[in-house]
């Protein structure tokens, strides 16, 4: 029997080696379609994004435009942008047909708007809304779904809630003449059970919002930490008799304790340290990446109440998350939730707004569920004698007086970012007055601020933003940033 000649064996071995080497040298992606290119901003020409904060609106407002010049001026800014964004912190439902129930968070309100506000917001120039916030589930899953239906029918693109966590995380898209705009919405502040869940084993998933779970450790000076540790030991001893006669431990004192449901750590100065759940961080950044791969521009947005306990600055997880979002493909990062303006940062030619405060701040919240009245029964009895005399507006006025009697809550800006060549070219900040002290039907409507109030707003914003390396010039009644 003849054998295969060794010459041919050697030739085949050499050919196989050359083929393997060629395959190893071949790039995994098509060189004409490099993946990093898909993360570039590719909007056509000069692209403008107008961004505002929380939109807590209860009734249509466009009928006011004809007789309200300052409100009309602000709406013209929204309409002039290529894309306009806000945080829809509400539920749009029709109680004549609503089949759901209130699910108010204890200690908070159940916000509600008439369904007509969806079309009204569209007429004002809005295009994009975030939905992940602590009021998204005030009226349960049914309220979430009905709100989605009204926004869809109005032609408004919205993200941040869904029938599963994957849907809540998913980017949503707006088609414009300048290109496709994507939005990814998330919230680090929400009531327990409002976050969407994926299925697990035989357990189904759950509708809800896109969560960013955080854990907070309060950092306190050593003397305060020692005092807290002694309180903890006294409480533990009171609960367990065996600890009362226990001799002092020779073990090294702990560097971190838990007390009254809060974590404390010893440090040089008072502050707050936040950590993001790693799964949430990974999933959010993946949603941003895929959203940008399929769009020319991506907006990442978060609803966050977390601040530093000592300074009131944004929680320390926010700058890290904002930077990571931009590294993953976001072209702008907008925060909201804190009801006052926060600092502005420019990172790699992209704007970061840590808090755009309120934009609509409707004091008309009707109806309120029964448990909201019962929670404040003693307060209503103190003021009215008979709590049943109080109306929804009476209760709202009492609670506003306790938590929102500050003109800064009624001051904000419209931020208009102009992008050219894949980077921010100019940022214009238009100061807005929400009418602190006006009647219920007039308060909370965004109007151009007076020159005096405008200077106050812009000077405060300039002071807040300076530590982040942002220089804001005041030109007339407008703040201007030119990177």
- Say what the pLDDT of residue 13 is: 66
The C-alpha atoms of residue 307 and residue 176 are separated, in whole angstroms, by 36
139-168 residue pLDDT tens: 999 999 999 999 999 999 999 999 999 999
Share of the chain above pLDDT 70, in %: 92
DSSP conformation letters of 34-46: -GGGGGS----SS
Residue 473: which region, alpha, beta or left (left: phi > 0; alpha: psi -120 to 50)?
beta
| Cβ(265)–Cβ(256) below 8 Å | yes
Residue 273's beta-bridge partner residues? 217
Q: Is the pLDDT of residue 446 over 60?
A: yes
Using alpha carbons, list the distances in angstroms from residue 305 to 355, 471, 477: 9, 25, 29
Torsion of CA 229, 231, 233, 238, to 10 degrees: -170
The C-alpha atoms of residue 321 and residue 309 are separated, in whole angstroms, by 19
| Nearest by Cα to 146 from 105, 95, 211, 189 | 95
38-91 residue pLDDT tens: 899 999 999 999 999 999 999 999 999 999 999 999 999 999 999 999 999 999
Using alpha carbons, list the distances in angstroms from residue 174 to 84, 115, 130, 210, 227: 11, 22, 13, 19, 55
Containing 352, the helix (H) or strand (E) segment is strand 350-353
The C-alpha atoms of residue 343 and residue 58 are separated, in whole angstroms, by 28
Q: What are phi and psi of 298, to 5 degrees?
A: -130, 135
Please compute the mean of the pLDDT values over residues 447-454 and round it to a whole number: 98
Q: Is the pLDDT of residue 355 over 70?
A: yes
Q: Is the pLDDT of residue 138 over 60?
A: yes
Containing 49, the helix (H) or strand (E) segment is strand 47-56
Sign (positive or negative) of CA dihedral 335, 360, 340, 146: negative
Half-sphere exposure at residue 113, Cβ-oriented, CA atoms within 13 angstroms: 30
Indicate the DSSP class of residue 66.
G
Band of residue 242 on the pLDDT scale cut at 50, 70, 90: low
Indicate the DSSP class of residue 272.
E
| Nearest by Cα to 445 from 59, 182, 37 | 59
Torsion of CA 383, 387, 393, 395, to 10 degrees: 70
Q: What are phi and psi of 220, to 5 degrees?
A: -130, 155
Q: Which domains does the chain have, with CATH numbers?
A: 38-213+278-362+406-481 (3.60.21.10), 222-266 (no CATH)
- Say what the pLDDT of residue 31 is: 86
377-399 residue pLDDT tens: 999 999 999 999 999 999 999 99
Indicate the DSSP class of residue 163.
S
Q: What are phi and psi of 135, to 5 degrees?
A: -115, 5
pTM (2 d.p.): 0.92
Of the ranges 35-44, 183-192, 327-336, 344-353, which one carries the lowest mean pLDDT score? 35-44
Strand 358-361 vs strand 411-420: parallel, antiparallel, or unpaired?
A: unpaired
Greatest pairwise CA separation for the chain in angstroms: 113
- Say what the pLDDT of residue 27 is: 78
- Say what the pLDDT of residue 16 is: 67
Instruction: For residue 59, count CB atoms less than 10 angstroms from its CB and return exposed for 0-12, middle for 13-18, buried for 19 or more.
Output: middle
| Nearest by Cα to 209 from 293, 138, 115 | 138
The C-alpha atoms of residue 334 and residue 354 are separated, in whole angstroms, by 6
Q: Is the pLDDT of residue 443 over 60?
A: yes
The C-alpha atoms of residue 14 and residue 319 are separated, in whole angstroms, by 55
The C-alpha atoms of residue 285 and residue 297 are separated, in whole angstroms, by 15
Sheet holding 271-276, edge to edge: 256-259, 262-266, 214-220, 271-276
Q: Is the pLDDT of residue 410 over 80?
A: yes
Band of residue 14 on the pLDDT scale cut at 50, 70, 90: low
Instruction: For residue 193, count CB atoms less than 10 angstroms from its CB and return exposed for 0-12, middle for 13-18, buried for 19 or more.
Output: exposed
345 or 228, which is more confident: 345
Enumerate the H helices of 312-390 as residue ranges.
317-328, 370-375, 377-384
Q: Is the pLDDT of residue 8 over 70?
A: no
State in Å, rounded, how far the first CA of the chain is from the last one. 81
196-205 residue pLDDT tens: 999 999 999 9
Half-sphere exposure at residue 206, Cβ-oriented, CA atoms within 13 angstroms: 15
Q: Which two tokens stand for residue 350?
A: 């992209």
């Amino acid at each position: 029997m003849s054998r295969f000649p060794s010459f041919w064996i050697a030739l085949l071995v050499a050919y196989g080696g050359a083929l393997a080497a060629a395959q190893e040298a071949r790039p995994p992606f098509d060189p004409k379609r490099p993946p990093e290119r898909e993360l570039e901003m590719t909007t056509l020409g000069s692209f403008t994004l107008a961004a505002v904060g929380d939109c807590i609106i209860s009734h249509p407002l466009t009928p006011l435009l004809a007789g309200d010049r300052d409100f009309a001026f602000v709406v013209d800014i929204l309409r002039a942008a290529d894309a306009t964004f806000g945080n829809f912190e509400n539920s749009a439902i029709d109680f004549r047909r609503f089949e759901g129930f209130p699910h108010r968070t204890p200690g908070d309100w159940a916000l509600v708007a008439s369904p007509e506000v969806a079309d009204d917001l569209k007429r004002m120039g809005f295009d994009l809304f975030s939905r992940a916030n602590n009021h998204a589930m005030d009226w349960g899953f049914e309220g979430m779904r009905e709100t989605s239906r009204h926004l869809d029918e109005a032609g408004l693109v919205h993200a941040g809630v869904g029938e599963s966590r994957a849907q809540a995380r998913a980017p949503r898209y707006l088609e414009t003449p300048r290109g496709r705009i994507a939005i990814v919405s998330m919230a680090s502040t929400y009531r327990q059970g409002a976050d969407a869940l994926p299925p697990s084993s035989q357990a189904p998933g759950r509708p809800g919002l896109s969560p960013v779970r955080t854990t907070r450790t309060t950092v306190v000076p050593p003397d305060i930490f020692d005092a807290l540790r002694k309180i903890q030991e006294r409480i533990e001893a009171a609960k367990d008799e065996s600890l009362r006669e226990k001799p002092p431990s020779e073990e090294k004192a702990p560097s971190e304790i838990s007390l009254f449901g809060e974590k404390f750590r010893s440090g040089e100065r008072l502050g707050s340290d936040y950590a993001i759940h790693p799964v949430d961080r990974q999933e959010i950044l993946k949603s941003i990446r895929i959203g940008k791969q399929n769009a020319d521009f991506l907006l990442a947005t978060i609803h966050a109440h977390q601040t530093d306990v000592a300074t009131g600055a944004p929680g320390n997880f926010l700058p890290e998350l904002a930077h990571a979002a931009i590294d993953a493909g976001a072209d702008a990062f907008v925060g909201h939730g804190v009801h006052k303006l926060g600092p502005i940062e420019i990172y790699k030619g992209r704007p970061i707004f840590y808090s755009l405060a309120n934009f609509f701040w409707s004091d008309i919240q009707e109806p309120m569920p029964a448990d909201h009245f019962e929670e404040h029964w003693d307060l209503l009895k103190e003021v009215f004698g008979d709590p049943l005399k109080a109306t929804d507006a009476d209760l709202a006025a009492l609670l506003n007086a306790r938590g929102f009697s500050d003109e800064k809550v009624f001051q904000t800006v419209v931020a208009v970012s102009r992008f050219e060549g894949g980077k921010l070219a100019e940022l214009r900040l238009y100061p807005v007055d929400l009418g602190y002290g006006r009647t219920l039907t007039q308060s909370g409507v965004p109007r151009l601020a007076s020159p005096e109030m405008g200077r106050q707003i812009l000077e405060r914003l300039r002071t807040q933003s300076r530590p982040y390396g942002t220089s804001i010039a005041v030109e007339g009644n407008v703040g201007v940033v030119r990177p």
